[in-house]
Amino acid sequence: MEATLRAGVLEHGTVELLNATGLGARMQREGAVHKGIELRFDGRGHRIDFVDLAGGKTIMLYAQHEVLKDLIAARLEAGGAILFEASDAALRDIDGKAPRVTFIQSGRAQEIACDFVAGCDGFHGVCRPSIPQSRRHEYVRVYPFGWFGVLVQAPPSSDELIYAHHPEGFALVSTRSPEIQRLYFQCDPQDDVAKWSDDRIWEQFRSRLATLEGWRPREGPILQKNIVAMRSFVCEPMQHGKLFLAGDAAHIVPPTGAKGLNLAVADVWVLARALVEFYRAGRRDLLEGYSERALARIWRAEYFSWWMTSMLHTFPGNDGFQERLQIAELRYVTTSRPKAVTLAENYVGLPLA
Ligand code: DHB
């Protein structure tokens, strides 16, 4: 868990929540505040200034697995139990009187009796399929491309993230620390990292990120390579009986815009408040309304991630017409304040309240 690479962008509201819950200390020390991004197309860069366009808000570059380390440490420090290496997890009686989670750990069958189950077990987990098929609907888009991600030992090529549209395909320049860069380029989702030499990878980055002034990425040893598949997915509703889904168990976004972790945090925030009000005041309405409330935000992020993906990637069979529409839209976003505001306020994230 602590080694798997995922996205690295925290929304304004995620940062505030981590700070407010006492989980932000290491993020404040080691993360980097970013005040904008660059959209690059036709050989030119265009800055989207979040501070100006999104009411002073910014984002934080702090890797998702670092957030996980902080969450795990805080849970253990609070005396909470985390059961690692459990297998064969299953839910029982989630719409009955005695909901339970059963699993095997250290060779022994075990069981947890529950008032409620928070299904935070990811896209491939057991919670979503525990909702009877007739009681849920799944909305899916699979994109005909993936992202080839590399971790590079070299200082950042740029102070801010660069999202590049290029006829050969999308490219993204991100960072992890003053010594490590994270870069991605659009690839065939079936491609194999073993077929890509470092030279061939750098060729792609040089070409897709080139500007008229001859910009080049800072190169260095490639420490890791992986391919990320891209899909949009939403399960409705996100609850059934005593089970409440949160995060990837209920929805997936393509990585463009880095919404995945932020959406999971927002789900949990809505669910936590509903649970607190149930135990504090006996209220059931917030639990009953969980799915509807969470889905409003989720669909907005689904829209944003789909829009960014559609605007920036080359689609197989792309003709000149579609490519010119993409360029027209990018010009619009980079010259019209209302359009730029749309990108900026969605990128820094909706308020949690
Ligand atoms: C990163 C990932 C994203 O999906 C994105 O839009 C921006 C940055 C990252 O891994 O740093």
Tell me: the pLDDT tens digits for 65-92?
Answer: 999 999 999 999 999 999 999 999 999 9
User: ∠57-256-308 over CA atoms, to 5°?
Assistant: 85
| Nearest-angstrom CA–CA distance, 238 and 91 | 15
8 Cβ below 6 A of ligand 1: yes
Residues 6+ apart with CB under 8 A from 282: none
Render the burial of 278-290: b for 16+ CB within 10 Å, e for the rest. Answer: beeeeeeebbeeb
Give the bridge partners for 79, in sequence order.
none
**Catalytic entry in 163, 254, 290, 313:** 163
Please tell me if the CB atom of residue 182 comes closer than 6 angstroms to any atom of ligand 1. Answer: yes
Is 155 labeled as catalytic in the residue annotation?
no
Q: β-strand 161-164 against 117-119: which pairing, if any?
A: unpaired
303 Cβ contact partners less than 8 Å away, ≥ 6 residues apart: none
Average pLDDT over residues 209-236: 97
Pairwise CA distance, residues 241 & 286, whole Å: 14
- pLDDT value of position 3: 80
At 208, which amino acid appears?
R
Q: For residue 260, how far is its CA from the centre of ligand 1 (angstroms)? A: 10
Lowest mean pLDDT: which of 45-49, 94-98, 238-242, 341-345? 94-98
- Identity of the residue numbered 276: V
Is 259 catalytic? The answer is yes
Task: State yes or no: pLDDT of 343 exceeds 90.
Answer: yes
Structure tokens at 337: 């304040």
Q: 169 in the Ramachandran plot: left (φ > 0), alpha (ψ -120 to 50) or beta?
A: left
* Alpha carbon of 251 to ligand 1 centroid (Å): 18
| C-alpha span between 231 and 229 (Å, rounded) | 7
Across 39-44, average pLDDT: 98
Task: Look at 193-197, 302-306, 317-321 and tell me which has the smallest mean pLDDT.
Answer: 317-321
Q: What is the DSSP string of 64-111?
A: HHHHHHHHHHHHHHTT-----S-EEEEEE-TTSSS-EEEEEETTEEEE
The yes-or-no verdict on residue 231 having pLDDT over 80 is: yes
**Residue 27, pLDDT above cutoff 80:** yes
Residue linked to tokens 């690692």: 84
Is 132 part of the annotated catalytic residue set? no
Q: Which two tokens stand for residue 343?
A: 């990108």
163 pLDDT more than 90: yes
Instruction: Write the residue with the smallest CA distance to atom 6 of ligand 1.
Output: 257
Is the per-residue pLDDT at 7 higher than 90?
A: no
pLDDT at residue 158, rounded to an integer: 97
Mutate to test the pocket of ligand 1, among 147, 182, 232 (most ligand atoms within 8 A of CB): 182
pLDDT at 206 over 80: yes
Tokens of 92: 């029982």
Distance from residue 108's CA to the centre of ligand 1 (Å): 40
Pocket test for ligand 1, best of 6, 9, 177, 228 (most atoms within 8 A of CB): 9
Q: How far is the CA of 31 from the centre of ligand 1 (A)?
A: 14
Q: What is the mean pLDDT of residues 161-168?
A: 97
Q: Taking 90 as the threshold, does the pLDDT of residue 328 lie above it?
A: yes
The reply to whether ligand 1 has any atom less than 6 angstroms from the CB of 262 is no
Q: What is 237-296 written as a DSSP string? A: -SEETTEEE-GGGTEE--STT--HHHHHHHHHHHHHHHHHHHHHH---HHHHTHHHHHHH
Angstrom distance (rounded) from CA 93 to CA 90: 10
Percent of the chain scored above 70 by pLDDT?
Answer: 100
Q: Which of 251, 259, 290, 313 is catalytic?
A: 259
Work out which ligand 1 atom sits closest to the CA atom of 182: 11
| Closest atom of ligand 1 to CA, residue 308 | 6
Neighbours of 151 (CB within 10 A): 16
Ligand 1 atom nearest residue 147's Cα: 4
Buried b (16+ CB within 10 A) or exposed e, 103-142: beeeeeeeeeebebbbbbbeeebbbbebbeeeebeeeeee
Task: Return the pLDDT at 6.
Answer: 84
Task: Tell me whether residue 139 is one of the annotated catalytic residues.
Answer: no
Separation CA 16–CA 161 (nearest Å) = 21
pLDDT digits (tens, 9 = 90+) for 96-140: 999 999 999 999 999 999 999 999 999 999 999 999 999 999 999
Q: What is the mean pLDDT of residues 299-320?
A: 96
Q: Which atom of ligand 1 is nearest to the CA of 61?
A: 11
Q: Is 347 a catalytic residue?
A: yes
Q: What average pLDDT does range 324-351 have in this prediction?
A: 97
Task: Say whether pLDDT at 353 is over 90.
Answer: no
Distance between Cα 257 and ligand 1 center (Å)? 7
Nearest CA among 103, 98, 101, 109 for reference residue 86: 103
């639990």: which residue's tokens? 287
Strands, DSSP E only, in 144-228?
Answer: 146-153, 161-164, 171-175, 180-187, 222-228
User: Which pLDDT belongs to residue 179?
Assistant: 94
Query: 353 or 204: whose pLDDT is higher?
Result: 204
Please determine, for residue 283, whether its predicted confidence score (pLDDT) is greater than 90. Answer: yes
pLDDT at 340 (0 to 100): 98
**Nearest-CA residue for atom 5 of ligand 1:** 258
pLDDT attached to residue 239:
98
Axis crossing angle, helix 64-77 with helix 260-281, rounded to the nearest 10: 30
